[in-house]
Amino acid sequence: MDDRSPPTTEDPRLLSSWQHNAGAWTRAVREQRIESRRLATDAAILAAVRERRPARVLDMGCGEGWLCRALAEAGIDALGVDGAPALVDAARAAGGRFETVAYADWPAQPRRFGLFDAIVCNFALLDAAPGALLAALGDALAPGGALLIQTVHPWAAAGEEGYRDGWRLERFAAFGEGFAPMPWYFRTLESWFVLLNAAGLRLETVREPRHPDSGHPLSLLLVARRQ
């Protein structure tokens, strides 16, 4: 495959980039280098989960594990899952329950860790076709449970490439040294709604965590339930 070609959903470059970037990402998160997270998005997802008063939470695409640790401090049973072993190793080293499972493997056994009152995908749905994963996560929800997705705000992140679905390249320019560019898939607001509906999920709430001074949207936070 030409290195310049966009990844397919089976392309290993997305996962391998996270494996390569695990150390740099862990430092960026733990040293609070990412402005949007400091200003709004970390607090937004934590509050959205806590207000549901869940007993069990799954953090899918947990990265270095900050959210699971924050939830555990609040007395919530949290399990983190990620496909990048290096990120799971970093998460475990800081304390908590974490497992390595590739997204592609999850649909075959969606209830491998039981049912959850809340499942979180916090900036963790970066592939072109996560429909099978979303449907499987819906199958892992306990009665009354909800799926919470936080992602880049499409209107804010469209940039010069335009407001259309497609692969983009994240260079992590503002996050410090040690990062390799990472492919990720941009989707419009409409595409998010279509994706959830096709996965058998009903959108319940839409939130837009904002910059505290400018009011500029820093992320999109979607809450959905099984239809």
Per-domain residue ranges of the chain = 13-226
Whole-number Å distance between alpha carbons of 142 and 146: 8
Determine the pLDDT at residue 9: 44
pLDDT band at 11 (very low <50, low <70, confident <90, very high): low
pLDDT band at 4 (very low <50, low <70, confident <90, very high): very low
Determine the pLDDT at residue 12: 74
Number of helices and strands in the chain (H, E): 8, 9
Whole-number Å distance between alpha carbons of 4 and 59: 32
Amino acid at 148: L
The pLDDT of 207-213, averaged and rounded, is 98
Residue 89: C-alpha distances to residues 58, 92, 97, 152, 196 (Å): 17, 5, 11, 26, 31
pLDDT per position as a tens digit, 56-67: 999 999 999 999
Q: Is the pLDDT of residue 8 over 50?
A: no
**pTM, to two decimals:** 0.94
The pLDDT of 179-193, averaged and rounded, is 96
pLDDT band at 174 (very low <50, low <70, confident <90, very high): confident
Hey, what are 152's tokens?
Answer: 């880049």
The pLDDT of 44-54, averaged and rounded, is 99
Tell me yes or no: is domain 13-226 CATH 3.20.20.210. Answer: no
Determine the Cα angle at 100 with ends 24 and 193, to 5°: 85
Contact, 164 vs 189, CB < 8 A?
no
Give the rounded percent of residues in the chain with a pLDDT score beyond 70: 95
Q: Is the pLDDT of residue 3 over 90?
A: no
